[in-house]
Each structure stands twice: as structure tokens, then as C-alpha cells.
Amino acid sequence: MLKYAIRRILYMFPILLGITLVTFLLFNVAGGDPAVQMAGKYATEAEIEAIRKDLGTSGPLYVQFGNYIKQIVTFDFGRSWATKQEVTRMIFGEEFRTSPMLVSVSLTFPAFFITLVLAISIGLLLTFYRGGVLDKSIMVVCLGAISISSLVYILFLQYYLGYKLGLFPISGISYDWVDKWNYLALPIIIFVALSLGSNVLFFRTIFLDEVFQDYVRTARAKGLSNKVVMFRHVLRNALIPIITLVVIQIPFLITGTLLIESFFSLPGLGGLIYNAINNADFPVIKAMTFISAVLYMFFQLLSDILYAVVDPKVQLK
Amino acid sequence: MSDLLQIKNLTVEFQTDDGPVEAVRNVSFNIPKGKTVGLVGESGSGKSVSSLAVMQLIPNPPGRVKNGEIIFDGENLLDHSDAKMRKVRGNRISMIFQEPMTSLNPVFTVGDQIIESLMLHKKMNKKQALDRAIELLDQVGIPDPKTRVHAYPHEMSGGQRQRVMIAMAISCEPELLIADEPTTALDVTIQKQILELIADLQKKYGMSVLFITHDLGVIADIADDVVVMYRGDIVEKGTTEQIFKQPKHPYTKGLIACRPMLEQNPARLPTVSDFMTVDGKEIDYKATPVEKTVRPITSDQPVLLEIKNINKHFPLHKSFFGKVTEWLRAVDGVSLKVHKGRTLGLVGESGCGKTTLGRTILRLIEPTNGDIFYNGTNITELNKEEMREMRKKMQIIFQDPYASLNPRMTIGMAIMEPMIIHKIGKNKQEQMDRAASLMEKVGLKPEMLNRYPHEFSGGQRQRICIARALAVEPDFIICDESVSALDVSVQAQILNLLLDLQEEMGLTYVFISHDLAVVKFFSDEVAVMNKGKVVEMSDAVSIYKSPKDPYTKKLLEAIPRGIPKTMLPSS
Amino acid sequence: MIRKSQNSLWNDAFQRLKKNKLSMVCLFIIIAYIILALGCKLGLFFPSFNETNNAISYQAPSAEHWFGTDFMGRDVMARAAHGTLTSLTVGLWGTGLAVIIGTLLGSLAGYFGKLVDEGIVWLYTTIDTIPYILLVSAFSLVLGPSLYTLCIAIGLTTWVGLCRVVRAEFIKHREKEYVQAASSIGASHARRIFTHILPNVFHIVLIQFSLGFVSTIKSEVILSFLGLGVEPGTPSWGVMINNAKQELARGVWWGLASATLLMFVLVLAFNLFNDALRDALDPKLKNKS
């Protein structure tokens, strides 16, 4: 087990190198010379060079790459082009209470949890009554639900529940531990609404895969009731893909949801990325790309290790 | 003696894309108390469906019991509510399935799975149930049951898993045990142990057993009564002795006659089609069996293939830095000679290395070391281009006729492909004509060339594979378990075809199989493999009459005799 | 010459698909969309979609403008119809590119294994690790937003899923006996890959293409909304929905409604068709649901 984990951790280094290379290629090589754009039409060569120095884009490529590695190692991604603030500070915030990450996580974690509980229960229900009217009609509803753009969900629900009915505030956040839920309630509802359909379909497929396994027939041959077969045998096996799925989602939850946060002007990481994209703010995008990739890599590792823990079939050699 | 189970006029129907299909039609038979009834039939005969109907485990939809009664201990099971039926399942009737790999839940320990029925039906608490589970594991012959009760299914061998399934099935001391092909996936030596175990437990608990199998040899060993099914109907039923001594239905006659038996030496095997037309009419078959003439292998018999000290090792364990610390010696220093125009049988149980050896001879797998001489050329030294040329001379026919044809290619294309690769035949028309004549040679209609593999039966597909192998006019063919996946009646036809082709074209065969009776029938010489090594090699008759190696003896003893106990001379 | 049998697996699959009435309706809808898009492309339908007239901005649906007009007085129906063209173009080229890359790399990795495999797996793990939206936005920012940038960005980032599936299929198939049989008659690597294995995994590529098409259409809308998609002025459902952000409060609902409706019908038809397609091409799965 330990050997497997160590090997798996060592495997992260080539991937880390790959991420560094790809982001570097994209922003420093293919991206052209941002200094020329930033300096404006009438800048002198000296002014442009000064900006280049500031951005870490002066000198030959290998020097630039060296600078980039330095940025990564020191975790200092320079200053935002748009706000001139330090990028690291923008991402992690001044203090924990107001940090963008906490805003994103307060929105996504509860929302994802609610989605999971609902989707798994509905998925089990549909598998239980598979082929029946209930199964078929909910399937159609889910297929319809995933056919609507997520933009429309946000736009419509924000307009109708927030603006028209005035049930919820439609923008901003409070940093008060209680009051903030007032602001987050509608975003959470929207998150659940737009991710429920695809999740139900996903879990239904997973459960159906298990229902037709031979061991289910054996369990029924023992005289166990459908309920016991479903909850004890099927669910326990389906838990293996479910756990890995959940763990793999966590990095996306941490980096927040771009669309919802931008619509509700929430100062989370998603909103940060949205603004950076809008302002072509390369340092922020670069830093966020790198950080998300590392997060993803880390949780991928965790999910692999968990997989080995939950699934007795996986023999680690 | 009274009957425990009576099946009356059972018809089971399945919904398919092409409308309803009756998998079982008007089936009636009885299972007496304490007796074993063998239900025998080839694939698709409806034998498994009948047994699932008893348990009411037929997947619905698409299947349903259309009519009939299943009377168990005086009550019609088909009238039971689901709750009432659950009290029967696993308690009074229990079942063992074919695939011990997939039939156990992989995430629970075997103990967890055994105590489930005990806690449910016998209302034991967990502690009592676990103690009983350990007792049961001990009874079915699992060593160190106190520890093994906490093992997961994947930590056990196939045979042990089937023992666990049996322990689970007998845990509530059922009155009826249904065993659906319980030994088909197992090696013959393991099969013997499992069959003995079932027989012992039956005696001990006084159970009735419904034993479902395609293998008449097994049936003869274990059953008191036999029911023969063919395409959803029962064609014959009677005591085992009646069925084997005086079969009445032509299908039964054919089925019994077409099995190669260790005791006999026929030159050819009769087939079901010798006894019965396709639509079931009886043919008066009177041919007297011709004894096989043993072709002596003299020292001046030319050697076509000689392999010297071949090894194939696969890495099994690697150290942290990727260095191999343990090797699987799949083929471990094998040397063999194959004589021109003769057949060498290669027999052994699963994992003995016979298939790896076969593929290594053709360099489909590269040997770790060793030499292979074909007609004097050492083919392990040939480069890619020379090896490609060599493939014209050496061919292989695989086990699974369903997997060995490309499903997206017409069979005409499949047979012509080797000609295209090796530029045999002047143009497409000539290749097509050759393909057509090959089809006739293997007993298929040339008009079928434009069809796709899924339109053929297993036996027909194996004929196509033979035609494909013959397309390059080889001298040497490896038959790798080529008849193992086929029903016995089809198996006999393919074996006869291969014999005819050998006679006609002077082919040399290496015949790989796990089935010693088939190998003995088909081969001139036999080599027995165990754990990567050839343990014994001799001509086909003497290896059966006077085996020298203890492993060969064990293998021979394990083969079901195919003669009912009551008919054996010793009893 | 003997005529080819009408019973190839492809034909079987098509017959199964034909039996499913709903899927045929969906196919019909998808074809209608394709005709609409082609008509727009050739200038047959709604040639005046770029005509502005500030005098009639934000007109509610009327006999003249069935779906009303937008802030520049352009006909919403014409804009939405041309949005179909944008969507399908991006869907086709973006997904097409991804399918070509994914199939090719997946085949090579799965078939050859060893170093080739490790290299390709490294490449796609790296790409997969970087969040899709950030990768695409980086592409768009670097290359400048345009329809073609969008296609390339989507193509270069979404091949990973398909590559994984194709690789796994190749690993499964390369050990199968029909491939072993091909090598035993001396077939070359290319022959084994392209005439033997690929036709046998192609139905999976087809399913993945169809699934990818749907998600590309959905991505286009979101990327255009983020300003990373098409050039300004190009009609796009995403841009129309983005505009609705300001319009809704003023009671202008028709822009949002028509883009949403057009997209909904297309995507739903695709989703239902995909389900049927999967059942038809992979009948083993069918009995499961």
C-alpha cells in the first residue's frame, strides 16, 4: 500500500512538469508579447522593455522559463495586470474570513452535498423501479433538464426568484457567518437545479451496471428481499465508483463556479477567474490554471488511494 | 419414493426484438426425495431456464413463466407471493451457479456472505452464524476455516470459491440443491473434488439434487435419473442406466455416441447428424465403428518441428525500482519433436503453459530463450519479413470461434485476407474462387462467402477459421483448444473434419486441449504438461494404458468415466 | 462478384435504430437543423440577419418579426437561425478535430503499449489536469476570439475522454483472438490497427462523437457568453443569452426565449438520439435498461 502510494506520488512529478510546460508554452510562447499591448501605441522600446522586466517576459525563452519556475517555487505569481495587486494575495485574500476560496467553498460544498444526496436517492429509486413509468418519466425529465443551457437556469432563476419575487438578494455577499447564507441560498438552489439532471442519469447508470451482476442473482437466491439486495449488496459495490467520483469533484468545488459567481457578483475564486478572463489578465489566469491543476492532481492521487482502500479487489503490487 | 419437486407442463417465454420466443416448452419432470436428477442438454436447450424458473429468478422482463406448475412439497411455487417465495429460496431450495468468479459479491468477505442466509432463515445472531459458517467452510474442505472465513472472494482460487458457494447453499440444510453447471469453469481434477463433495453432502443431509450440465460424462458419474433436453423440449427421461444402455431418442443416441471415450479407439466419431436429421427424424445408423490404426512412429519418420529447451517467463513481481523479483515460468524448458503428417497432442490443465507454448511456437509470443526448428530452419532467428513468409507454412486455429473472426469482416474477406497478404492468386477473382473451394472443403456452401460471422453457428465459424488457416496452404497447424468451446455433437464433426483434412493434405498438427479423452482420440503422440514443463510424453494408447508420471495418473483418474456406476464392471 | 451481405453489424444497428420511432423523430429534427444551418450558410435563409435598424430596437414579437427584434433592431429569428449555423459549425469542427486526435492517439497508445503508451498517457493526463475552461480561455486569449480559434481550442482540449476510451478498447481488442489470427497470417501492424481493430471500436468513436457534439454545442454557448467564443457581431446563442442579462429586467424576454428554445430542441433531440444510438450500436447494453 505504502509502496503504491509512493510510486503514485512520484508519478506526479512528470505531470507537474507537463503542466508547467503547457502553461508556459501557452502564455509565454504562443501568447505573443503582452508588453507591447500593455505599453500602448506610443511607447518607446525602453518603456516596453521595462514592462517586460516587470512581467518576467524579457530575455530568451529559457530565462523566462527559469523565471516561471521561480514564480512557482516561491508561489509568487507577480501582480495582476488589471488591478496591480499581488496575484497570490488576490487568490488567498487578506484573511481567512473574507478569502475568495471560503466564499466559493461555502457555495459549492453544501450545494454539491445536496445534489449528491438527492441524485443518489433518485438514482436508487429509479433502479429499483427500472423500466416502469416512474423510471421512464424521470429519465425524460432529466434528459430535458440537461438540454437547457446552464446559463438559462441562472438567468431565469435569478430573475424570477431574486428579482421578480424578491425572495433572495441577487448580488453580493456578507462575511457574517450567519448572514452570508442569505446571500448564498439562491446560488445554492441554482447549483443544485442545474447539476441534478446529469447526476441522476450518472448514478442510475452506475446502479444499473451493478444490478445485472451475477452476485446479485446469488444474493436473491439466498432469499434476501429486493430492499436488502439493493441497499446492502448493490449500493456497497456502487460506492466504489461513487467515492472516486466525489473526491475527483472536490478541486472543482474549491475553484468555485465561474458562471454562478459572476452572475451574483460573489467575490469567490470563480468570480476572480471570470474577471481575469474578461480583462485578459494573464498573471491571474496563469496562477489559477497552475493552482487548479495542482489541486486536481492532488485529489486525483487521493481518489486513487481511496479506491485502493475501498475496493478489496484492487491488489497493490 | 415420493417426489420432492414436480414440474408440470412448464413453458417459459422470453420477449425479444423479434417477438416472444419459448425457451422452454411443456417441460415436465420429477425430482424424488434424496435423489440426484441430471438435466442434460447442449447450449440453448433451456436447461438453465428451467432451473431458474424453480427459483423464480428468471429476469422479468424479458422472461416470464407462461404456464405450468412447479409443485414443491405439495405447494405450487408459482402461486407463492414474493415474500413467501423468499422463505423458500436459500432455505429449502438453494442454488449454485457456473461462474464462481462473479457469483460472489467481491466487496464482502466469504463469511459475511455465508452468515446472511443463516441470520435470515435460521434467525441466528451474528456470533452463532459466524461459528456455523466456520463449520460449513470446514465441511466443504476449505483449509484453516477460522482465518479463511474473513477472506475476500478474490483471495481464493476458483475451486475454493465454488466450495464457498456450496457452503452458502447448504448453510440452511435445504431439501433441494440446484447445481447449474457448477464444474464447467473448473479444471478436471478440481471438478472431481467438487463432484465428490456434492455427493458427500447429499448423503449427509439427505438432499435432492438437480444437477444441470452439458457433460454426459459428469451426469453418468453423479445422477440417479437423467432428463435430456433439446431446443426447449424434453426428448427423453429415465434412469441413468436406461439412458446410457438403451437410449430411445435419436438425439440421445447421437449425444452418447459422439463423445470420445478413454476406453475406446475409434477411427472416427459418429455425430448426432448420423442419428437424426435436422428436423428431428430418426436415421437408422448401423455403421460398425472402425478401430483406429495406430500409426507407429519410427526413427526414420521425418521431423517437421523440433523445439529445444524453450522458455517463456513473464514478470510476476517487480521491486520498487522496476526490477523483476519474481518470474512466472509459463513455459519452462520444453523440448519436443513433431513428426511430419502426425499429430502431437498437448494436454494439461489451465495455467499449465500449453497455450503459451503453442503461441510461442508461432512466435505470436516471443520466447524468452530456446530454439524452434521448422524443417531445419531456426525460426527464432528469422527477421520480420522472413517470419512473415514462414507464416504461410505454419497456421493456428483458436479456441473461441466467436472471438477469432473479425465481426466487421465478411467471411469471404476473412478467408481471402491471407491470400492478399501473401499475394496468392493472380487477381481478386482467382482468390474468390479459391475461397469458394476452401468453403466447400470445410463443408460450407460457397454462397455464404458474403455473409458476416454473426450469421453462423459456433461450429460453422470454426469451419471458417479452418478454411482461413488453409488459405495459405500450410503444412503445419496448431489447434489451440479448437473444439473446447463447442457443444459435444459439433465437436465430433469438427474433429472428423480435421482428420479428413490431415489425410487429404498430409497436414501436421499440434493439438492443444485440456480434455484428455479428446486428445487421446485425435493424436498419435501425447505430451502432458504441468506447471510449464512436459512431464510425460508417449504414444496416445500407452499414455492411457500405462501412465508413468503421477500427474498423468491423477489427470486420468479425474476424468469422468461416462459410464453409470451401476454399469461399471467392478460394482 | 458476390454482392455483400445486407447483414453487416452496421446495417443491423441501423435496422434497430429505425425500429425506435422516437430516435427517428430526433434524427429528423437534427437533419432539419442541419438544413437550416446550411441554408443560412448559403444565404438562402435569413440573408438580412445583420441588417440593423435602431428605429425598431426591442420590438416585441409581431407579424413582421415573429420573434421580435434586438437592441440594434435586428430580427431575432434571423439571429437565432444563424446562431444554429455557428453552433453546428463549432460542433462539427471542434468535435471532429477532437475525435481525430483522440482516436489516433488512443489507437497508437492502446495498440503499441509500452513507451508509446506512457508518452500519450502522460500527455493526456497533463491536459486533463488543467481545468477545461481555463485551458480554452487561455487558447482564446492567446489566439484572439474567433470561430476558428474556438474550434481549435475545443478540439485540442476535449480529445482526452475519447482517447481514454479508444485506448482501453484497443488494449481489450489487441489480445482478442481475431487479432491474434491476423498476426498469425502475417498481417502488418497497420493492417491490424486499421482493418481489424478500428472497425470494431468505431461504433464507440461514433457514440463519443455524438456525445461530444452535444457538449461542444453547450460549451460554445458558455464560451461565447464569456466573450471567448465568436468574434463580436457573429450571431450566437451564447451572445443572445448574454444580452438577455440586461434585457430581462426591461421585460425583453424574446431574445432569451428564442435562443433557449432553439438550443433546447436541438440538444434534447441529440440527447434522445444518443441514447437510442448507444442501444443500437451496443445491443449488449440495451437489455440492461
- Average pLDDT of chain B is 87
Q: State the pLDDT at residue C169.
A: 92
In 3D space, the residue among B75, B24, B67 whose CA is nearest the CA of residue B227 turns out to be B24
Q: Which residue has the higher pLDDT, A281 or B472?
A: B472
Q: Residue A55: which pLDDT band, with cuts at 50, 70 and 90? A: low
Q: State the pLDDT at residue C1.
A: 41
Q: State the pLDDT at residue C269.
A: 93
> Does residue A285 surpass a pLDDT of 80?
yes
User: Is residue C54 situated within a structural domain?
Assistant: no
Mark yes or no for CB contact B421/C186 under 8 Å: yes
DSSP B336: E
Please report residues of C whose CB lies closer than 8 A to that of B412.
2
CB-nearest partner of A285 from C134, C263, C272? C134
The one-digit pLDDT tens for each residue of chain C (289 residues) are 445 556 677 888 888 888 888 889 999 999 999 999 998 888 888 777 777 777 777 777 777 777 777 777 788 888 888 889 999 999 999 999 999 999 999 999 999 988 999 999 999 988 888 888 888 877 777 777 788 888 988 898 889 999 999 999 999 998 888 999 999 888 889 999 999 999 999 888 988 898 899 999 988 888 888 878 787 778 888 888 888 888 877 877 888 888 889 999 999 999 999 888 888 887 654 443 3
Q: State the pLDDT at residue C56.
A: 75
The secondary structure element, H or E, covering residue B86 is helix B82-88
Tell me the percentage of chain B whose pLDDT exceeds 90. Answer: 32
Task: Please write the tens of the pLDDT for every residue from B291-327.
Answer: 777 777 777 788 899 999 999 988 877 776 777 788 8
Distance of alpha carbon B562 from alpha carbon B263, whole angstroms: 10
> Does residue A122 surpass a pLDDT of 90?
yes
Q: State the pLDDT at residue B502.
A: 92
| Long-range CB contacts (within 8 A, 24+) of C134-138 | C134/A273, C134/A285, C134/A288, C134/A289, C134/A292, C135/A26, C135/A289, C136/C219, C136/C223, C136/C228, C137/A277, C137/A285, C137/C223, C137/C226, C137/C228, C138/A23, C138/A26, C138/A27, C138/A285, C138/A289
Please report residues of B whose CB lies closer than 8 A to that of A132.
none
Least confident of B78-82, B296-300, B361-365, B472-476: B296-300
Instruction: Go through the domains of chain A in sequence order and give each one's CATH number.
Output: 2-92 (no CATH), 96-310 (1.10.3720.10)
Please report residues of B whose CB lies closer than 8 A to that of C182.
406, 417
Please report residues of B whose CB lies closer than 8 A to that of C9.
407-408, 452, 454
Q: Residue B469: which pLDDT band, with cuts at 50, 70 and 90? A: very high
Distance of alpha carbon B436 from alpha carbon C187, whole angstroms: 22
Strands B377-378 and B369-374: antiparallel
Judge whether A297 and A15 are in contact, CB under 8 Å: yes
Q: State the pLDDT at residue A72.
A: 82
Please report residues of A whose CB lies closer than 8 A to that of B156.
none
Q: What is the CATH number of the domain that holds C273?
A: 1.10.3720.10
Judge whether A261 and A107 are in contact, CB under 8 Å: yes
DSSP C130: S
Please report residues of B whose CB lies closer than 8 A to that of C178.
403-407
Distance of alpha carbon C64 from alpha carbon C50, whole angstroms: 16
Stretch B161-167: mean pLDDT, rounded? 90
Sheet holding B63-72, edge to edge: B19-32, B3-16, B63-72, B75-76
Number of domains in chain C: 1
Q: Cell match 507454412: residue?
A: B393
Nearest CA in chain B to A4: B320
Per-residue b or e along A153-172, where b marks 16 or more CB atoms closer than 10 Å to that residue's CB: bbbbbbbebbeeeeebebee
| Residue C244 touches chain A, beta carbons under 8 Å | yes
Nearest CA in chain A to B118: A222
Judge whether B345 and B527 are in contact, CB under 8 Å: yes
Nearest CA in chain B to C187: B421
In 3D space, the residue among B327, B334, B328, B398 whose CA is nearest the CA of residue B364 turns out to be B398
CA distance C241 to chain A (A): 7
Q: State the pLDDT at residue B571.
A: 40
Backbone angles phi, psi at B38, to 5 degrees: -95, 125
| Residue A227 touches chain B, beta carbons under 8 Å | no
Reduce the DSSP state of residue C58 to 3 states and report it.
Answer: coil
- Beta strand residue intervals within B319-420, DSSP E: 324-339, 343-347, 369-374, 377-378, 394-397
- Average pLDDT of chain A is 84
Q: State the pLDDT at residue C5.
A: 59
User: Is residue C52 situated within a structural domain?
Assistant: no
DSSP C233: T
Sign of CA dihedral B439, B443, B447, B448: negative
Mark yes or no for CB contact C8/B408 under 8 Å: yes
Distance of alpha carbon B547 from alpha carbon B520, whole angstroms: 13
Residue B76 is placed in which grid cell?
405450487
Task: Please write the tens of the pLDDT for every residue from A198-243.
Answer: 999 999 989 988 888 889 989 989 889 888 888 889 988 888 888 8
CB-nearest partner of B450 from C3, C181, C183? C3
Distance of alpha carbon A268 from alpha carbon A262, whole angstroms: 9
Backbone angles phi, psi at A75, to 5 degrees: 55, 40
Whether omega before B145 lies within 30 degrees of 0, making that bond cis, reads no
Distance of alpha carbon A184 from alpha carbon A231, whole angstroms: 34
In 3D space, the residue among C152, C164, C192 whose CA is nearest the CA of residue C102 turns out to be C164
Sheet holding B303-318, edge to edge: B324-339, B303-318, B369-374, B377-378
User: Is residue C70 situated within a structural domain?
Assistant: no
> Does residue A186 surpass a pLDDT of 50?
yes
Mark yes or no for CB contact B116/A222 under 8 Å: yes
Distance of alpha carbon B189 from alpha carbon A292, whole angstroms: 57
Please report residues of B whose CB lies closer than 8 A to that of A6.
320
Q: State the pLDDT at residue B569.
A: 59
> Does residue B407 surpass a pLDDT of 60?
yes
Mark yes or no for CB contact B61/A237 under 8 Å: no
DSSP B89: B
| Residue A3 touches chain B, beta carbons under 8 Å | yes
User: Is residue C58 situated within a structural domain?
Assistant: no
Task: Please write the tens of the pLDDT for every residue from C153-205.
Answer: 889 888 999 999 999 999 999 888 899 999 988 888 999 999 999 999 988 89
Q: State the pLDDT at residue C235.
A: 86
CB-nearest partner of A151 from C123, C225, C248? C225
CB-nearest partner of B97 from A6, A218, A317? A218
The secondary structure element, H or E, covering residue B213 is strand B208-213
Whether omega before B61 lies within 30 degrees of 0, making that bond cis, reads yes
> Does residue A108 surpass a pLDDT of 60?
yes
Q: State the pLDDT at residue A316.
A: 45
Q: Give the type of residue at B347.
A: V
Mark yes or no for CB contact B407/C9 under 8 Å: yes
Judge whether A316 and A3 are in contact, CB under 8 Å: yes
Distance of alpha carbon A244 from alpha carbon A145, whole angstroms: 25
Judge whether B177 and B94 are in contact, CB under 8 Å: yes
Cα separations (Å) of B374 from A160, B190, B361, B396, B476?
83, 37, 9, 15, 10
What would you measure as the largest C-alpha separation in chain B, in angstroms? 79
Q: Round the CA-based radius of gyration of chain C to a whole number and report it.
A: 22
Domain hosting residue C190, numbered range = 2-46+76-285
Please report residues of B whose CB lies closer than 8 A to that of C1.
432
> Does residue B290 surpass a pLDDT of 90?
no
- Those chains having 3 or more beta-carbon pairs within 8 angstroms of chain A are B, C
Cα separations (Å) of C215 from C30, C211, C219?
15, 7, 6
Q: Give the type of residue at A163.
A: Y
Residue A99 is placed in which grid cell?
478569502
Mark yes or no for CB contact A213/B57 under 8 Å: no
> Does residue A39 surpass a pLDDT of 90?
no
Q: State the pLDDT at residue A197.
A: 92
Distance of alpha carbon A269 from alpha carbon A261, whole angstroms: 8
> Does residue B212 surpass a pLDDT of 50?
yes
In 3D space, the residue among A1, A45, A18 whose CA is nearest the CA of residue A296 turns out to be A18
> Does residue A154 surpass a pLDDT of 80?
yes
Q: What is the DSSP string of A215-265?
A: HHHHHHHTT--HHHIIIIIIHHHHHHHHHHHHHHHHHHHHT--HHHHHHTT
Mark yes or no for CB contact B320/A7 under 8 Å: yes
User: Is residue C57 situated within a structural domain?
Assistant: no
Judge whether B193 and B355 are in contact, CB under 8 Å: no
Reduce the DSSP state of residue B398 to 3 states and report it.
Answer: coil
Most A CBs within 10 A among C129, C140, C239, hence the mutation to make, goes to C129
Residues 6+ apart with CB under 8 A from C261: none
What is the value of ipTM here, to two decimals?
0.83
Q: Cell match 503490487: residue?
A: A317
Distance of alpha carbon C140 from alpha carbon B513, whole angstroms: 62
Distance of alpha carbon A156 from alpha carbon A150, whole angstroms: 10
